[in-house]
């Protein structure tokens, strides 16, 4: 049986999405073991996932223009190769510094991979099948989110944390082989544009200062970095509006559907990303479970999301995607409200109920929201739209984990995360979940704003 060209494209997008998330979410289960191995305090420990997302956030926007100019398949191929190098290096790391360095390399590569893979799907797949194809890509994300706690918990418990990185290597090699042999075509939508180097530098430094400062708002240096980052990002926006070949086309934000969907994505990931870490800490430090047991229960939310994502993606080809997205975030808000009152004595069935509601909510939200963003721009701007949604997701996730670092540092100081400090962990979790609930509400309103948009490319 001959496999259609689009199928290979979707397969690559699925695999790269899966393993990018696997090494961002799965690592959360291994954080306690890594921290113990390298004698980290709670602040450094919380940077294990955060530094990965920070590197992604810095390189995602430049990746959009680069992939559009030099080809999305070529960019994706290079990104996967670097991802492979970072994974091998992390597995072989011998100190906190070496481990963090390879986490940065992984973050950079996944930033490029996410943008290129999404742009390739949009470029290669027929418009009438786009929602369905994007749904399968999101399924890769959620399937990884669902399986990574279980697989990582099993690996950490039985083989040590380094095995998390070893297990991805053959799959990344498979992606490289398939791209080289089965996807001969490349897409260069910005072939004649020049690279906006200054714009890329302004954005990268601005977002780096902002997010790093955000995680350190408890001291004066953090406040200064945050303000400096915001100023540079404002300068970046004005610079981009004056460019004929901008690294990011700011004029796309004149499209209300595009803008509202991006804001909704930012708020949703800010609200939701931290929940897995909060629950993992709750199970391992507050309830005293081991990594394998925690991983088994954490599968509840993402497995529901993985089941719903392809179906809601297909549904968003027929029903206004932002209506589905708003309904999903409303359900997720209820889940966050429940977790805001989480304590050691909370019945396990209430925790599972919150996880189920979160899974349903995000399953309804993510694929339709992504479809709304990608279908609201002309085809030539697919790399920029892909970079936009990837940036909103990455910045939201990074700020979410930055919020975790900020609140835990404020409540616990430099104390290590341990069972004897369970009361402080619970207190920190309450504050974080309350803030996340507010972000969910903002995402609902943002989704609703774009429903009546009559912008030209809203197809």
Tokens linked to 155? 């690996």
How far apart are alpha carbons 402 and 408 in whole angstroms?
10
Q: Are 257 and 322 in contact (CB under 8 A)?
A: yes
| Residue 123 maps to a domain | yes
In this predicted structure, what is the pLDDT of residue 442? 92
Q: Which two tokens stand for residue 118?
A: 């999404």
Residue-level pLDDT at 374? 75
pLDDT number for residue 193: 74
Cα dist. 364→139, 243, 325 in Å? 12, 37, 6
Statement to judge: residues 176 and 219 lie in one domain: no
Q: Dump pLDDT digits (tens) for 388-445.
A: 777 787 788 778 877 888 888 888 887 777 788 888 989 999 999 999 999 999 999 9
Q: What is the residue range of 324's domain? A: 5-184+247-452
In three-state secondary structure terms, 224 is: helix
Q: What is the pLDDT of residue 44?
A: 81
Does residue 314 sit within a domain? yes
Whether residue 406 sits in one domain with residue 297: yes
How much is the average pLDDT of 245-259?
Answer: 81
168 lies in the same domain as 278: yes
Statement: residue 262 has pLDDT above 70 = yes
Does residue 189 lie within any of the structural domains? no
The dihedral formed by the CA atoms of 318, 320, 326 and 331, expressed in degrees to the nearest 10: -20
Query: Which pLDDT band, with edges at 50, 70 and 90, does 113 fall under?
Result: confident
> Average pLDDT, whole number, for the chain?
83
Question: What is the rounded CA–CA span in Å between residue 45 and residue 312?
Answer: 36
Tokens of 15: 């695999």
The burial class, CB within 10 Å (0-12 / 13-18 / 19+), for 160 is: middle
Same domain, 231 and 125: no
Average pLDDT rounded to a whole number, residues 225-249 = 88
Segment holding 432, helix H or strand E: helix 422-449
Q: Are residues 150 and 208 in the same domain?
A: no
pLDDT at 458 over 70: no
Residues 18 and 146 in one domain: yes
Higher-confidence residue: 230 or 389?
230
User: Where does the pLDDT of residue 51 fall: very low under 50, low under 70, confident under 90, or very high at 90 and above?
Assistant: confident
Q: How confident is the model at residue 229 (pLDDT cuts 50, 70, 90)?
A: very high
Do residues 34 and 85 touch, judged by C-beta distance below 8 A? no
Domain membership flag for residue 459: no
Do 425 and 291 fall within a single domain?
yes
Over 70: is that where the pLDDT of 131 sits?
A: no
Q: How confident is the model at residue 290 (pLDDT cuts 50, 70, 90)?
A: confident
| Neighbour count for residue 201 (Cβ, 10 Å) | 14
**Which residue in this structure is represented by tokens 């909103």?**
392
Q: Does residue 76 contact residue 116 with C-beta atoms inside 8 Å?
A: yes
55 shares its domain with 172: yes
Sequence-ordered list of residues with C-beta below 8 angstroms from that of 400, at least 6 positions apart, any chain: 269, 270, 271, 272, 273, 274, 436
Q: Is residue 441 domain-shared with residue 293, that is, in the same domain? A: yes
Structure-token pair, residue 249: 């086309």
> In terms of domains, do 32 and 51 share one?
yes
Among 117, 82, 89, 35, residue whose Cα is nearest residue 284 = 35
Q: What is the CATH number of the domain that holds 131?
A: 1.20.1250.20
Residue 210 or 305, more confident: 210
Structural domain total, the chain: 2
pLDDT value, residue 457: 43
Instruction: Report the pLDDT value the prediction gives residue 234, as an integer from 0 to 100.
Output: 92
Q: What is the pLDDT of residues 299-344, one digit of tens each?
A: 788 778 778 877 776 777 677 788 888 889 999 999 999 999 999 8
Q: How far apart are the first and last CA of the chain?
A: 34
What does pTM read for this prediction?
0.72
Q: How far is CA 389 from the centre of its chain?
A: 10
Q: Average the pLDDT over 165-192 and give the result.
A: 83
Nearest CA to 43 out of 430, 410, 424, 409 is that of: 409
Looking at per-residue pLDDT, the higher value among 6 and 447 belongs to 447
Q: What is the DSSP-derived secondary structure letter of residue 245?
A: S
Among 272-281, 314-323, 369-378, top mean pLDDT goes to: 272-281
pLDDT: which is higher, 389 or 166: 166
What is the mean predicted confidence (pLDDT) over 267-272? Answer: 88
CB–CB of 277/49 below 8 Å?
yes
In angstroms, the CA 265 to CA 426 distance is 27
pLDDT confidence band for 141 (50 / 70 / 90): confident
Query: Do 293 and 327 belong together in one domain?
Result: yes
State the pLDDT at residue 246.
81
Both 96 and 147 in a single domain?
yes
CA–CA separation, 232 vs 238, rounded Å?
10
CA 47 to CA 361: how far, in whole Å? 28
177 domain residue, yes or no? yes
Q: Taking a C-beta distance cutoff of 8 angstroms, is the pair 458, 260 a contact?
A: no
Report how far apart, in Å, the C-alpha atoms of 358 and of each of 27, 308, 366 are.
Answer: 21, 12, 12
CA distance 5 to 124: 8
């Amino acid at each position: 049986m001959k496999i259609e060209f689009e199928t290979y494209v979707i397969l690559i997008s699925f695999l790269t999405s899966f393993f990018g998330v696997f090494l961002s979410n799965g690592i959360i289960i291994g954080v306690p073991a890594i921290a113990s191995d390298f004698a980290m305090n709670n602040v450094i420990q919380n940077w294990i996932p955060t530094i990965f997302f920070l590197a992604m956030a810095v390189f995602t926007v430049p990746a959009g223009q680069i992939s559009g100019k030099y080809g999305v398949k070529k960019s994706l191929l290079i990104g996967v190769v670097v991802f492979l190098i970072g994974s091998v290096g992390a597995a072989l790391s011998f100190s906190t510094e070496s481990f963090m360095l390879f986490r940065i390399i992984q973050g950079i590569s996944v930033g490029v991979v996410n943008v290129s893979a999404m742009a390739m799907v949009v470029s290669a797949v027929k418009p009438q099948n786009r929602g369905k194809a994007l749904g399968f890509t999101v399924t890769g994300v959620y399937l990884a989110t669902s399986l990574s706690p279980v697989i990582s918990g099993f690996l950490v418990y039985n083989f040590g944390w380094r095995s998390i990185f070893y297990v991805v290597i053959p799959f990344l090699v498979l992606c490289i082989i398939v791209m080289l042999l089965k996807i001969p075509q490349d897409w260069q939508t910005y072939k004649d544009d020049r690279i906006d180097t200054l714009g890329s530098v302004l954005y990268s430094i601005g977002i780096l200062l902002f997010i790093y400062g955000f995680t350190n708002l408890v001291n004066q240096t953090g406040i200064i970095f945050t303000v400096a980052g915001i100023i540079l990002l404002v300068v970046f926006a004005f610079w981009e509006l004056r460019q004929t070949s901008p690294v990011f086309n700011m004029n796309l934000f004149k499209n209300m559907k595009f803008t509202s969907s991006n804001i909704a994505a930012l708020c949703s990931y800010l609200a939701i990303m931290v929940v897995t870490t909060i629950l993992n800490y709750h199970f391992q430090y507050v309830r005293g479970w081991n990594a394998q047991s925690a991983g088994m229960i954490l599968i509840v939310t993402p497995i529901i999301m993985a089941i719903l994502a392809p179906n809601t993606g297909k549904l968003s080809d027929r029903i206004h995607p932002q209506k589905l997205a708003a309904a999903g975030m409303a359900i997720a808000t209820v889940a966050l409200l429940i977790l805001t009152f989480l304590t050691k004595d909370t019945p396990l069935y209430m925790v599972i109920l919150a996880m189920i509601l979160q899974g349903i909510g995000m399953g309804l939200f993510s694929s339709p929201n992504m479809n709304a963003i990608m279908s609201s721009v002309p085809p030539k701007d697919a790399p920029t739209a892909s970079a936009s949604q990837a940036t909103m997701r990455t910045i939201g996730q990074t700020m979410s984990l930055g919020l975790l670092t900020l609140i835990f540092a404020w409540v616990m100081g430099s104390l290590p995360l341990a069972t004897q400090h369970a009361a402080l962990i619970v207190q920190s979790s309450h504050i974080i979940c309350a803030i996340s609930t507010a972000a969910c509400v903002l995402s609902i309103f943002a989704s609703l704003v774009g429903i009546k948009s009559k912008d030209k490319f809203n197809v």
